[in-house]
Amino acid sequence: MNLQVKIGELRFANPVLTASGTFGYATEFAQYVDLKRLGGVIVKGISLEPRAGNPPPRIAETPSGMLNSIGLQNVGVERFLKGKLPFLRELDTRVIVNILGDSVEEYAELAERLSGHRGIDALEVNISCPNVKNGGVAFGIIPESAAAVTAAVTNSTDLPVIVKLTPNVTDVTEIARAVEEAGADAVSLINTLLGMGIDIATRKPRLANVVGGLSGPAIKPVALRMVWQVAAAISIPVIGIGGISTAEDAIEFLLAGARAIQVGTANFTNPAASEDIIDGIIDYLEEEKEDSVENIIGGLQM
Amino acid sequence: MNDFQKKAEIIRVETLTPEVFRFTVHSPAIAAAARPGQFVMVRVEQGNDPLLPRPFSVHNTESATTFQLLFKIVGRGTSILADLEVGDRIRVFGPLGRGFTVSDDGPVCFVAGGMGGAPLFFLAKYLRLNGRRPDRDIVLLGARDQSEVKPIADDFIRLGYRVETATDDGSMGHHGLVTDLFDGIGPGIVRVYSCGPYPMMGVVAEKCRQKNITCEVSVETIMACGVGACLGCTILKSDGSYAQVCKDGPVFTTDKLAWTV
């Protein structure tokens, strides 16, 4: 049975990847997951300089989900290359580095610095960050900004470039088409939905940052809808993210047109979630008498 | 050695008060590896509500096959957990985190408030099992009333420790705060271990700073992953940077933290 999927020039052993920000740098989960079984690992987003992140409280539980405002805390590109990459390059799975920045220039420089290192197979571009040169409006909500970041990154690296889309827009297909035109090799979606919670005992926001990103099973219907819409709107591959906890969830996204999926919040409820999902996809293909996972990608029947 | 167990069986349930429970859970992997101050992540529900596992400090281990949790009902997660019975299974993984520093440099004082006695009991027992004579140590326990403080006090007394108690309502021991008792401890104490409500630990930290005594606390915070991956459980350090409670803690020396009391 074939579980391999191709996304541009990238080959993955199977469609199951772990999402940036939920799996650290993979070492943290090494005791719970057989890392070499994963299709790929997408590490925590890296910026040029280290970032401390937001004050606590950074997380809050919500019905079937959670809010986070971690604040993009990361060790910066230098310490990533020296301190984290050595372990990652020994993993027998694809390693994708998520990158983030304040300006188009920062994204370009990051892309250049991360190129040419053994062990990094692709870049995933987080465009949900605020553009400080544009009043702090997120790059990913304006098609021209999203395209500018995409072009800057693709011009600065030979690595495959996956652009991670934010759902906090009116029409995500518009953004998807803009980044496709700007040269992206693939898109991944969705990032978190903007939300908030209030503690009625203290009458204060539950997050120190007031608003944060909602993730988990609660967002799956929105994510699935967006993946389905984007897969129909563009030709480049789509990677599906959003509330995937089980193999059944993953298969819904593959049927909707995703060539691969990412598991995020589910890693917190079940550290072995990613492996369980791989096993479940194998079971499904056997039951359905499909000899390749490629047979179900885009298999939604209308 | 961390172990993700999908089915750890509850083999004993003790109802210490209508709100306080002690579970004995069968898990040789966790029992063998756990050190005082470490915690486990417990998934209280199979479905999605509540979504996240809950961290609980390891309260005790027995014969390298079982460990114990001591908890009070404070919200949805603990409420669901409290309804479980002998024979039910919970998803649990660990042990996690950095535990207490075990040191033999002189008499120690334990200061616990509310459920703070949970991890400190494991520490006290661990010290005894490793040959410590507790005759110069002192255990200070504070809680709402006698029903909450007495079971834990008895546990420490059975280990051979001297115990003083304080209750909010005066039903047992000193009528007031456990930190009042701390002012009365003799000189010669070289190390303090404390766990309990954040303001209580802040007071203990300050008093230790004034008396120049090394103090370690176990802090509590909301967690998501428990393994150091999500960066959701950070606490501010005295140098202005953030530490992760699940990985750098939950035990910290008090001078490393920025206290906001």
The per-residue pLDDT for range B97-156, each reduced to its tens digit, is 999 999 888 999 999 999 999 999 999 999 999 999 999 999 999 999 999 999 999 999
Nearest to B241 by CA among A207, A50, A123: A50
Residues of chain B with a CB closer than 8 angstroms to some CB in chain A = 1-4, 43, 48-53, 91, 93, 221-236, 241-242
- Among all residues of chain B, which has the CA nearest to that of A29? B227
A144 class by beta-carbon count within 10 Å (0-12 exposed, 13-18 middle, 19+ buried): exposed
CA-wise closest residue to A293 among A302, A283, A301: A283
With 90 as the cut, is the pLDDT of residue A3 above it? Answer: yes
Q: Using CB atoms within 10 Å of the CB of residue B169, give its burial: 0 to 12 exposed, 13 to 18 middle, 19+ buried.
A: exposed
Of A44, A59, A63, the CB nearest to B224: A59
Phi first, then psi: what are they for B213, rounded to 5°?
A: -110, 135
Where residue A135 falls among pLDDT bands split at 50, 70, 90?
confident
CATH of A5-53+71-193+214-295, one of 3.40.640.10, 3.20.20.70, 2.60.40.1260, 2.40.50.140: 3.20.20.70
Q: Does A56 touch chain B (CB under 8 A)?
A: yes
pLDDT value at A244 more than 70: yes
Which one is catalytic: A10, A129, A226, A273? A129
A34 carries an active-site annotation: no
Q: What does the pLDDT average to over A289-293?
A: 97
Nearest-by-Cβ selection for A64 from B51, B221, B232: B51
Whether A213 shows a pLDDT value over 70: the answer reads yes
pLDDT of residue B103: 85
Model confidence pLDDT, tens digit, residues A20-35: 999 999 999 998 899 9
Q: What is the DSSP letter of B120?
A: H
Instruction: Check B225 against A272: CB less than 8 A apart.
Output: no
Q: What does the alpha-carbon distance between residue A103 and residue A15 come to, in Å, rounded to a whole number?
A: 32
Kindly state the tokens that stand for A199: 């503690």
pLDDT of residue B49: 87
Residue among B53, B227, B228 whose CB faces A269 most closely:
B53
pLDDT > 90? residue A130: no
Chain A interface, mutation test: which of B2, B3, B45, B234, most A Cβ atoms within 10 Å? B234
Q: Which residues of A touch B4 (CB under 8 A)?
A: 31-32, 271-272
Closest CA to A193 of A99, A100, A96, A62: A62
Distance (Å, whole) CA A225 – CA A194? 17
Q: In this predicted structure, what is the pLDDT of residue B1?
A: 44
Which amino acid does the sequence have at A255?
L
Check CB contact under 8 Å for A61 and B222.
yes
pLDDT at B4: 67
Q: pLDDT under 70 in chain B at which residues?
A: 1-6
Measure B240 CA to nearest chain A CA, in Å.
9
Residue B43 with chain A: CB contacts under 8 Å: 269-270
Residues 6 or more apart in contact with residue B216 via CB below 8 angstroms: B37, B100, B101, B191, B192, B193, B194, B251, B252, B253, B254
- Report pLDDT for B2: 57
Instruction: Determine which of A112-116, A134-138, B1-5, B48-52 has the lowest per-residue pLDDT on average.
Output: B1-5
Compute CA distances B28 → A56, B14, B32, B71, whole Å: 35, 20, 6, 21
Secondary structure element (H or E) that encloses residue B176, with its range: none
DSSP string for residues in A189-226: E--PEEEE-EETTTTEESSTTSEEEEESGGGHHHHHHH
A245 — contact with chain B (CB < 8 Å)? yes
Interface residue A216 vs chain B (CB under 8 A)? yes
Q: Is A270 on the interface with B (CB under 8 A)?
A: yes
- Would you give the end-to-end CA distance of chain A in angstroms? 27
The region, left, alpha or beta by phi > 0 then psi within -120 to 50, assigned to residue A216 is left
Tens digits of residue pLDDT in A66-85: 999 999 999 999 999 999 99
Kindly state whether A246 is in contact with chain B, defined as any CB-CB distance less than 8 angstroms. Answer: no
In the numeric block, the tokens 């553009």 are attached to A131
Q: With an 8 Å Cβ cutoff, are B233 and A60 in contact?
A: no
The ipTM (two decimal places) reads: 0.93
pLDDT value at residue B242: 97
